[in-house]
Amino acid sequence: MKGIRPFRLRSAQAFLLLWLGQVVSLMGSGLTRFALGVWVFEQTGSSTDFALIGLFAVLPQVVLSPVAGVIVDRWNRRKLMILSDLGAGISTLVLAALLFSDRLALWHIYGIVAVSSAFGSVQFPAYTAVTTLLVPKQHLGRANGLVQLGQAATDILVPLAAGVLVLTIGLSGIILIDVATFLFAVGTLMMLRVGETAVLTSLSASVSPAEKEAGFWQSMRFGWSYITMRRGLLGLLFFLAAFNFLWGMVGALITPMILSFTTSDVLGAIISIAGAGMLIGSVIMSAWGGPKRRIFGVFGFELLSGFCFMLIGVRASFWTIAVGVFMAHLTIAVIYSSNQAIWQSKVPTHVQGRVFATQQMIGKAASPFAYLLAGPLADRVFEPMLVTD
């Protein structure tokens, strides 16, 4: 019996198949992260141990992004995505084996999360570059809207589903679901011919001899060099990094802020409302595609997002905060979709792996700093300023 043979699809159908596989895999990973967090907190009762899961999930991607970018530009992107999903799936199987044998320890979780994150460092630049190959330039805004839609659907559905599944099938059952979602994603990738068409043949021909002969270290630095030579992209990169930093601070502080005047069920409702805002914003972008001047989709909605941030902090009211987080997440879908469409249309496809990896590294590096600073600033600066004699 012959194995699965890749077949050709029209570009829109191929992208939708790719998108579906990645969304299903994303949901499976989200279920596992939620369940691991619950397991760690129940076992240790430590918020620090719980928070370290997030650190080990982000740090390897930040550190390895330059290496991942070189790999993505030098090898078949579809096969790299398959390898990334298989590596993350095997890591999850190791986690399951340790759990079933009653040997799972906290350091195992940190290590496995870090290994899975390392495989995931290839995923973003490869996925984004493949999307550029499959989707016509004028429809990149819509495609990125769909990507944000998948993230929004995950943000809404995963907490609801995970809360039930943790009680019914436990961590072990959720891990098996996660492995199944990885296999589904691999299956969709195996059905595509991305990276084996004349498109990539023409791309490889466009690479200069100097680029082909460049050493690995030189290639790692290429993404940063490419961006710094283009002031518009450099400004956009740091503008979005600053936005991610501020958004990270809001994300770190909003939960204790809400719990300071209400209960956890109200917090859950507000989180769901925020996810609904992201979902609606993603649907709008998928249908609309964003403004013709995509930079207006970044700066204009960034300004609107700032007003939403202000609304969240105006008063301790459910409805005020709910409207603020809903509109803020709606604008985020437009901002991120427009931003990524700019990068995909401005950066040549044969160097997108390295450039997008640098973009991911700087963008993601801002969030951990925000989480590190948010708590001390709130405790030692902002709260004392609000205390009246």
Domain extents for the chain? 11-206+216-377
Q: Is pLDDT of 12 > 80?
A: no
The helix or strand, by DSSP H or E, that contains position 290, with its residue range, turns out to be none
Cα separation of 359 and 351, whole Å? 12
**Dihedral pair phi/psi, residue 78, rounded to 5°:** -65, -45
Q: Is the pLDDT of residue 216 over 80?
A: no
| Superfamily for domain range 11-206+216-377 | MFS general substrate transporter like domains (1.20.1250.20)
pLDDT tens, 163-210?
A: 778 888 888 899 999 999 999 999 999 887 654 444 444 444 445 555
How far apart are alpha carbons 198 and 201 in whole angstroms? 5
How far apart (Å, rounded) are the C-alpha atoms in residues 244 and 339? 13
Res. 285 pLDDT band, cuts 50 70 90: confident
Residues 6+ apart with CB under 8 A from 266: 258, 318
Run of H or E residues at 348: none
Neighbours of 211 (CB within 10 A): 16
Q: How far apart are CA 142 and CA 148, in angstroms?
A: 10
* Interacting residues of 15 by C-beta distance below 8 A, sequence separation 6+: 131, 134, 135, 143
Per-residue pLDDT tens over the stretch 352-380: 888 888 888 888 788 777 766 766 666 66
pTM, 2 dp: 0.71
CB 119 within 8 A of CB 87: yes
| CA 169 to each of CA 162, 172, 179: distance values in angstroms, whole numbers, following the listed order | 10, 7, 15
In angstroms, rounded to a whole number, what is the distance separating the alpha carbons of residues 65 and 78? 18
Sign of CA dihedral 257, 263, 265, 270: negative
Under DSSP, the state recorded for 5 is: P
Q: Can you list the alpha helix ranges (DSSP code H) found in the chain? A: 11-44, 47-74, 77-100, 106-134, 140-168, 170-190, 198-205, 209-213, 216-228, 231-259, 264-288, 294-312, 318-346, 352-377, 383-386
Predicted pLDDT at 349? 81
Tens digit of each residue's pLDDT (9 = 90 or more) over 141-169: 888 888 888 887 887 788 778 777 888 88
Alpha-carbon span 15 to 130, nearest angstrom: 9
Residue 387: pLDDT over 80:
no
∠ CA 281-239-357 to the nearest 5 degrees?
A: 85
Q: Which of 143-147, 267-271, 319-323 has the highest mean pLDDT?
A: 319-323
Residue 229 has pLDDT above 90, yes or no: yes
pLDDT over threshold 60, residue 272:
yes
